[in-house]
Structure 1
Amino acid sequence: MDFANQIILVSAGLITFSIFAGVLSSRIGAPLLLVFLAFGMLAGEDGPGGIIFDDFAVAYLVGSFALALILFDGGLRTHREALNRAFGPSLALATIGVVLTAGLTGVAAKFIFDLGWIEAFLLGAIVGSTDAAAVFFLLHLRGLRLKTRVAATLEVESGINDPMAIFLTLGLVGFAAGAHSVANTSDAIGFLLDFLWQMAGGGLFGAAGGALVLRAVNRLQLSSGLYPILTGALALLVFALAQAAGASGFLAIFLVGFTIGNNQHRATSEIARFSDGVAWLAQIVMFLMMGLLVTPSALVPIFLPALAVALVLILVARPIAVWACLVPFSFTPKETAFVSWVGLRGAVPIFLGTIPVLSGVEGAEVLFSIAYVIVLVSLILQGWTVPLAARLADVELPPRPMPDRRVELDLPAGKGKSVVAYTVDPMSLLARRGVNRLPLPMGTTVISVMRDGVVRTEGLDQGVQPGDVVMILTTADMIPTLDRLFGARRARTRTKDTGTVDFVLEGTASAALVADLYGLAFEAEERELTLEQFMRSRLGKDIKEGDRTRVGGVALTALQVRDGAVHQVGLDLDPPQEESLLKKVRMRWREALKSLRDLFIADDPRGPF
């Protein structure tokens, strides 16, 4: 009993102190996941905590469970539009990119550590994939916003490249442990067939499982608090079944999350909030446990050569692999460099490093220690500099305004409909415009405005005051757009010679999608165009930076024009009101009358005769 209580005390204490340490470290920009990892090391046998933990089997079990939950949450937050936009480059990076990175890193490890070829490539496979937890967290650190295709490519790649790294690791472990022979043709063919089944089977289990989980959520009548638990349990069931069938359960659970996140269902906000909390807990536990597992004193003898391998991975292997994969997709050199730099390694390589140890591969503990050093270097060198790299690569977008307070209430009967209550910020767009003048997204309706406890549903065009609560009926996918409209606009983007804009959009964006998001009154034929085509249709072929056109009460500005093509369009939701022709005539008439009055009626400056 006392031992059980001690376990609970230590676990709760580690998690609590890790969170507090993370809050403090965020003020100096330290990657939070690095803090969790370092805190686990300090709590271990070589640190002040003195906790001895060397059970690789438990680490593998907990790591599998945590990684599955993290990937489910990643799939839940990956939008279909992002996947469509980045599917080609992400798939290339998640397959060919992982193989190239593993191969080049393995060659470096072969000569730096004098390993056998199988062991060297095994190390390359262990550290070959980017970490979903690290990428998802750092790309959203402090509201960091990136160009849509760049962000989508990095997020989707990190979500789907783990199966390839796991497959390579398991296959090479079989060769290193002597279960397979490189010279045996049947083993090589079996290796290839196993890869095909891992990918295809994971996709089948994920697609079928996602559809079944979605149907269960929509058909069963449960208490709202049970829907997230049901969804998580069924997703883990799909993961376990896929793994038992020899397919990739990690790919399957990512696809289950993707299916749930991109379809209307009950308890949207409950599932999203629950999954976010569980994913955070999984990340904390995973990084703490991996920190406990390593013995820092064992890292000292191999630190410098491991650092050399890490630098080869970051500065040579990853850039070459990224360049080779992204060449067909017309990424700019700066975008390619940024994607290369955000090849973050996290808990996944440490988790994969436990597999050779459990399989009895000779020298596996050394491979584990090398992988650990590589992760530390990646989190320190790359994780600490992601915002700076985004600015240098010119892929950072202005931060979106976020509301201070937002309350969501799902409507079970509406399947995806939510009632959202926003408290009006003094610096929001809403505080300066009437509710009926807001460019609200399609399918969004203002229900009421509450002020001092009194609800009113009429006269909404008269405007609101800071502190008022606006209740809106909308769909879950429109909430991010409403967040931008109701958030504090403390830093509008000032552009050269074009004034200020609220949002910067890519010229390749669909005019129909932008119209639906911001309530723009495009003509039917204009909705079929991209924003670049729309600007050219309105302004002609000779567009210059700063040229503007209006759509209702919203202005669109050509921000970046290269070779006659509009690459970026600024959206100004509150442009200066243009005067009508009648108003201009009246003003000119008043000015003329005033001039006549001054001429004939005003006192003579020379005084009376």
Structure 2
Amino acid sequence: MIAALAVLIILLAWSAFSGALDRRGITSALFLATAGLVVGLLLPSAFEAPTDLTTARLIAELALVLLLFSDAMRIDLRALRHQLSWPSRLLLIGLPLTVLAGVGVGLLVFPDVAFASVILLAIMLAPTDAALGQKVVEDTAVPSRVRQALDVESGLNDGLAVPLFLVALSIANAELEMSVPGAVLMNMWTQIGGGVLAGVGAAIVGGTVFAFADARGWVGAHWRQVMPLATALLCFAIADTLGGSGFIAAFVGGLVFGRVAGRARSEISVLTEEAGDLLAAVTWIGFGALALVLVLPSITWQVVLYAVLSLTVVRMVPVAVALAGRRIRLPTIAFIGWFGPRGLASLVFGLMVLEEGVPEGNILLSTVVVTVALSILLHGLSSVPLVAVYHRWSTAHIASDPNSAEGVPARMPRLRRERPGA
């Protein structure tokens, strides 16, 4: 009960001052995680880790599912088909290179950690976070093509990392019963195939039912908001039943539902967005109160060093390689490379490692937690000033070269914080 009261009080405090703090670069994740950390240190008995970590994982998963679904609903598929160059290179080239770079750095920083565990760590910290990166994605001062690339990348890369993570988890626990390439292909087929099948199937059913009923005026005004929320959860449930990735199912399902729903998608995604934001807020409070407090005694200089390198070299160099040859200027490459925050997906992976009892799991979890904590702090505080600097540069650059890669327009959907009719 004390934990619930603490969570509610923190949520009320953030709600009251959220606008003023957000304008100053204090993001919800930064405020909520810090508040959770304070509560966890002052009232350590309020949160019981063995029970709450399982609950925290479910809340984090559901938050990510709802945010991925609602974000995907806003994407214009017809426009995206002609603008896949940047996102596809970030996903198909940048993501694998990020994993390889993470493995290389891990072998240097953690020479005594098993090779399989190093691979597992690199995969856990490869995906970027759609929710933490939203502040940059929704800022119209950033060119639309840059925002779209970051939006699509963060929406898909965590789902693509799931099959690799499951294989690495099996190897680390010495449970793999087939060859590594075979296991990777099998998991990719199951996770991606099951996720896509669940997302497309649930979204077609949910979207068609909505479109049919809404066109005839059968849906009550308030219940219009419930249908996409229910469809998002249905995507997740079916994917889990099929053994597929709930994250891929949510993102693909959101794309399909938005396409079927048509123009109405901008009006009916509000409840799904808000529910995802609320669950994410609870996750960040729990992150501060549980995860940070839990790993504080095991933080070493190696853990901090890997976290710093993961947010910089391990992310930024692969992005530069992936975008090479696209006529993209260095400031844009650096901007995209820096704004790859780690968040909910990495935390979910970390909690799974802890539950599975992976050897050296404490080191892995500590590194994930420290990396996410640093990402919340550094990406949150740097978003306002770096967006301002990049805006000045990009405005001048596009004005001098209207045909530049950054100047190519990309149709951006309604921003998450922008309400229909506003």
Fold similarity call, TM over 0.5? yes
Describe the superposition over 1:90-143 as per-residue Cα deviations: whole angstroms up to 9, x where unpaired: 233234322221221232223323311111111111111100111123433xx4
Larger deviation, residues 388-397 vs 198-207? 388-397
Distance of aligned partners of 1:266 and 1:367 in 2 relative to their CA distance in 1, 3 Å threshold? same
Distance 1:149 1:565 in 2: 11
Structure 1 position 328, deviation (Å): 4.7
Describe the superposition over 1:485-521 as per-residue Cα deviations: whole angstroms up to 9, x where unpaired: xxxxxxxxxx8xxxxxxxx9x7xxxxxxxxxxxxxxx
Pairwise CA RMSD of aligned residues?
3.0
Answer yes or no: is the 8 Å Cα contact 2:28–2:281 preserved in 1.
Answer: no
Distance 2:358 2:85 in 1: 36
Answer yes or no: is the 8 Å Cα contact 2:298–2:366 preserved in 1.
Answer: no
| Aligned residue among 149, 152, 156 for 1:156 | 152
2:26 aligned with 1:30:
yes
Distance 1:176 1:368 in 2: 14
Q: Aligned residues, how many? A: 402
Structure 1 position 27, deviation (Å): 4.9
> In structure 1, the residue corresponding to 2:225 is in which secondary structure?
helix
Q: Who is 2:63 aligned against? A: 66
2:370 aligned with 1:370:
no
Q: Who is 1:124 aligned against? A: 122
Describe the superposition over 1:382-410 as per-residue Cα deviations: whole angstroms up to 9, x where unpaired: 33213333344457777xxxxxxxxxxxx
2:403 aligned with 1:560:
no
| Aligned residue among 37, 43, 47 for 1:52 | 47
Larger deviation, residues 297-306 vs 193-202? 297-306
Q: Who is 1:206 aligned against? A: 199
Distance 2:105 2:263 in 1: 51
Distance of aligned partners of 1:266 and 1:311 in 2 relative to their CA distance in 1, 3 Å threshold? closer
Distance of aligned partners of 1:137 and 1:262 in 2 relative to their CA distance in 1, 3 Å threshold? farther
Describe the superposition over 1:262-298 as per-residue Cα deviations: whole angstroms up to 9, x where unpaired: 4445864551222222122122122122222224373
Distance of aligned partners of 1:330 and 1:246 in 2 relative to their CA distance in 1, 3 Å threshold? farther
Distance 1:175 1:165 in 2: 15
Q: Who is 2:306 aligned against? A: 309
Larger radius of gyration: 1
Larger deviation, residues 196-205 vs 376-385? 196-205
Alignment of 1:345-424 (within 5 A): 345-393=342-390
Structure 1 position 48, deviation (Å): 4.9
| Structure with more relative contact order (C-alpha pairs < 8 Å, separation 6 or more) | 2
Amino acid aligned to 1:32: S
| Aligned residue among 268, 275, 280 for 2:277 | 280
Distance of aligned partners of 1:70 and 1:349 in 2 relative to their CA distance in 1, 3 Å threshold? same
User: TM-score w.r.t. structure 1 length?
Assistant: 0.60
Distance of aligned partners of 1:21 and 1:103 in 2 relative to their CA distance in 1, 3 Å threshold? farther
User: Counting strand residues as a fraction of each chain, which structure ranks higher?
Assistant: 1
Structure 2 gaps of 5+ residues are 410-422
Distance of aligned partners of 1:68 and 1:28 in 2 relative to their CA distance in 1, 3 Å threshold? same
Distance of aligned partners of 1:326 and 1:397 in 2 relative to their CA distance in 1, 3 Å threshold? closer
2:336 aligned with 1:339:
yes
Distance 1:116 1:87 in 2: 38
Q: Who is 2:182 aligned against? A: 189
Distance 1:256 1:568 in 2: 30
Structure 1 gaps of 5+ residues are 399-494, 496-503, 507-558, 571-609
Alignment of 1:87-106 (within 5 A): 87-106=84-103
Amino acid aligned to 1:147: P
2:211 aligned with 1:252:
no
Answer yes or no: is the 8 Å Cα contact 1:106–1:124 preserved in 2.
Answer: yes
Answer yes or no: is the 8 Å Cα contact 1:22–1:35 preserved in 2.
Answer: no
Distance 1:325 1:566 in 2: 15
| Aligned residue among 221, 238, 246 for 1:224 | 221
Answer yes or no: is the 8 Å Cα contact 2:10–2:32 preserved in 1.
Answer: no
Answer yes or no: is the 8 Å Cα contact 2:136–2:142 preserved in 1.
Answer: no
Alignment of 1:561-580 (within 5 A): 561=401
Give the share of equivalent positions with the same residue, in percent.
24
Distance of aligned partners of 1:291 and 1:347 in 2 relative to their CA distance in 1, 3 Å threshold? farther
Distance 1:565 1:288 in 2: 42
Distance of aligned partners of 1:307 and 1:274 in 2 relative to their CA distance in 1, 3 Å threshold? same
Structure 1 position 196, deviation (Å): 3.1
Q: Who is 2:173 aligned against? A: 177
Amino acid aligned to 1:288: I
> In structure 1, the residue corresponding to 2:276 is in which secondary structure?
helix
Structure 1 position 58, deviation (Å): 1.7
Amino acid aligned to 1:119: S
Q: Who is 1:76 aligned against? A: 73
Distance of aligned partners of 1:295 and 1:378 in 2 relative to their CA distance in 1, 3 Å threshold? closer
Q: Who is 2:322 aligned against? A: 325
Answer yes or no: is the 8 Å Cα contact 2:229–2:271 preserved in 1.
Answer: no
Answer yes or no: is the 8 Å Cα contact 1:127–1:349 preserved in 2.
Answer: yes
Answer yes or no: is the 8 Å Cα contact 2:109–2:302 preserved in 1.
Answer: yes
Distance 1:365 1:387 in 2: 34
Answer yes or no: is the 8 Å Cα contact 1:126–1:371 preserved in 2.
Answer: yes
Distance 1:11 1:315 in 2: 32
User: Counting helix residues as a fraction of each chain, which structure ranks higher?
Assistant: 2
> In structure 2, the residue corresponding to 1:133 is in which secondary structure?
coil
Distance of aligned partners of 1:322 and 1:248 in 2 relative to their CA distance in 1, 3 Å threshold? same
Larger deviation, residues 259-268 vs 96-105? 259-268
Distance of aligned partners of 1:288 and 1:391 in 2 relative to their CA distance in 1, 3 Å threshold? same
Answer yes or no: is the 8 Å Cα contact 1:131–1:158 preserved in 2.
Answer: yes
Distance 1:65 1:569 in 2: 35
User: TM-score w.r.t. structure 2 length?
Assistant: 0.85
